[in-house]
Amino acid sequence: MSGGSSWRIPVPPKTNELLSSWLIRAARRYACTPSDFTHYVWGSNPSWTRDLDRWASISAIATLNHRLRGDVREATSTSLRSFCERLGSPPPGPGITPGILAVGVYHRLRNRYGLQYCPQCLFEDQEPYFRRDWRLAHVWICTRHGCVLRDCCPSCESPIAPHRATFLQVEKCWECDSSLLVTSPAASDQEVSAHAHIQLFWQTNSIGAGKAIASFPDWLAATRRLYATLASTNPGQLMLKNALTAISHPRSSTEPSHPLFELGRVEDRGRLLTAIVSMTHDWPSTFLRLAKGVGLRRNQLITFSHSSITSCLMSVAKMLPLESRKPRRKQKKAPAYLRMSTADARQRIDLSAAIARRIASLPSAPSKHRSEEV
């Protein structure tokens, strides 16, 4: 729907801007709350009680754009829907969209760390805004400033929720009102290199996997599986530790926060994706050596019913040993009397004769008379 007149103040989206960020800027310009603003534009349809960056329909964005007088193409690209095809993910629905960080909507709160930001970018913006790329799970570094992105308030560690910030000052924490513009640490050389590799796959939709060429969706499917393996199993964590030691990764090797890629904190994703790039650069040689070294089993790498597993990961998984089963305990031989039939037993045991022999062997009972004599 795009009927009705355009509004007086044009607020076009900025380059690479996220839909929710655009809405917040517009609400601020029109001096109202984000929920009042979306109510004016879209009526009573739920907006901030959903992850609207994933959910907003094309027609809803067209209506918004008509009111705010932006460019149609730029407006459409503010939604994360436009990433789905490139990620090989289905259109957004309930639950996780592969490759897109989850924000964990709870009423109007956010309880996951799925909105990242670069403090320096926000600081340098004339009008601070959040980038669409900051919701991608394979992005954890600002390529402009070379620093690791932040995914929470540096003071109180609350997830980022700019639509709740006081006076819509998005550079401040909605919870504690502290500045979000605290500089974040520079990324290590290994991380910068791994990040650059992945961004190249993302841009070109092509990655060399040994002799094969895989698409970005193939890479993502395999990476989500490797990420879960490295984050959740003992051999996986040992393999991660070995891979990080091999590349002298300076970051801590504490256990990752969550085995699901889209729920991982920014430091975990940086650490694990760097390890995955280092162990897959000569696919599958290094990976197989590390996997066999820590006794990784086929079933720990993939679930065969998992339809999205790529053929290149499947072919390597087949080179790993199957799950080891405990050898069956050898059954003890039953005693002979339990193994013979009843008929055999009757033949063998002449019960009456046995009783007679037993009675005969007993000492004779002392008589009452004798005891009286004593």
Q: Which is nearer to Zn ion, 144 or 289 (CB)?
A: 144
The dihedrals phi and psi of 159, each to the nearest 5 degrees, come to -60, 155
Q: Which is nearer to Zn ion, 134 or 287 (CB)?
A: 134
* Residue 145 contacts Zn ion per CB under 5 A: yes
* Residue 319 contacts Zn ion per CB under 5 A: no
Q: Determine contact, residues 298/323, Cβ cutoff 8 Å.
A: yes
User: Peptide bond preceding 284: is omega within 30 degrees of 0, i.e. cis?
Assistant: yes
**Which of 61, 122, 142, 302 touches Zn ion (CB under 5 A)?**
142
Q: Which is nearer to Zn ion, 155 or 199 (CB)?
A: 155
**Which of 175, 191, 218, 267 touches Zn ion (CB under 5 A)?**
175
Q: Which is nearer to Zn ion, 128 or 284 (CB)?
A: 128
- The CA distance from 262 to 269, in Å, is 9
Q: Which is nearer to Zn ion, 161 or 239 (CB)?
A: 161
**Which of 9, 156, 212, 319 touches Zn ion (CB under 5 A)?**
156
Structure tokens at 168: 């819509």
Residue 122 is inside which H or E element, if any? helix 119-124
Q: Which is nearer to Zn ion, 132 or 224 (CB)?
A: 132
- The CA distance from 20 to 309, in Å, is 33
67's CB contacts (< 8 A; 6+ apart) are 4, 6, 7, 41
Q: CA of 300: how far to CAs of 161, 228, 356, in Å?
A: 36, 10, 68
Residues between 72 and 131 with contacts to Zn ion, criterion CB under 5 A: 118, 120-121
Q: CA of 112: how far to CAs of 152, 161, 185, 266, in Å?
A: 9, 10, 22, 11
| CB of 2 vs Zn ion, minimal distance in Å | 34
Q: Which is nearer to Zn ion, 178 or 286 (CB)?
A: 178
Residue 105 is inside which H or E element, if any? strand 105-106
Q: Which is nearer to Zn ion, 235 or 270 (CB)?
A: 270
| CB of 127 vs Zn ion, minimal distance in Å | 15
* Residue 186 contacts Zn ion per CB under 5 A: no
* Residue 155 contacts Zn ion per CB under 5 A: yes
The stretch among 154-162, 221-229, 286-294, 345-353 that binds Zn ion (CB under 5 A) is: 154-162
| CB of 188 vs Zn ion, minimal distance in Å | 17
**Which of 57, 58, 91, 144 touches Zn ion (CB under 5 A)?**
144
* Residue 151 contacts Zn ion per CB under 5 A: no
Q: What is the secondary structure of 261-308 as a DSSP string?
A: GGG--HHHHHHHHHHHHHHHTTTTHHHHHHHHHTT--HHHH--TT-TT
CA 165 to chain centre: 28
Number of residues that bind Zn ion (CB under 5 A): 14
**Which of 27, 153, 181, 317 touches Zn ion (CB under 5 A)?**
153
Q: Residue 70: exposed, middle, or buried by beta-carbon count in 10 A (0-12, 13-18, 19+)? A: buried
- The CA distance from 274 to 136, in Å, is 16
Tell me which amino acid residue 140 is: W
The stretch among 88-96, 144-152, 263-271, 285-293 that binds Zn ion (CB under 5 A) is: 144-152
The stretch among 30-38, 168-176, 199-207, 360-368 that binds Zn ion (CB under 5 A) is: 168-176
**Which of 176, 186, 213, 355 touches Zn ion (CB under 5 A)?**
176
* Residue 169 contacts Zn ion per CB under 5 A: no
Q: CA of 172: how far to CAs of 130, 135, 158, 165, 335, in Å?
A: 13, 19, 11, 7, 80
The stretch among 163-171, 178-186, 191-199, 291-299 that binds Zn ion (CB under 5 A) is: 178-186
Q: Which is nearer to Zn ion, 156 or 212 (CB)?
A: 156
Tell me which amino acid residue 193 is: S
Kindly list the residues in this chain that would bind Zn ion in the complex (CB under 5 A): 118, 120-121, 142, 144-145, 153, 155-156, 158, 173, 175-176, 178
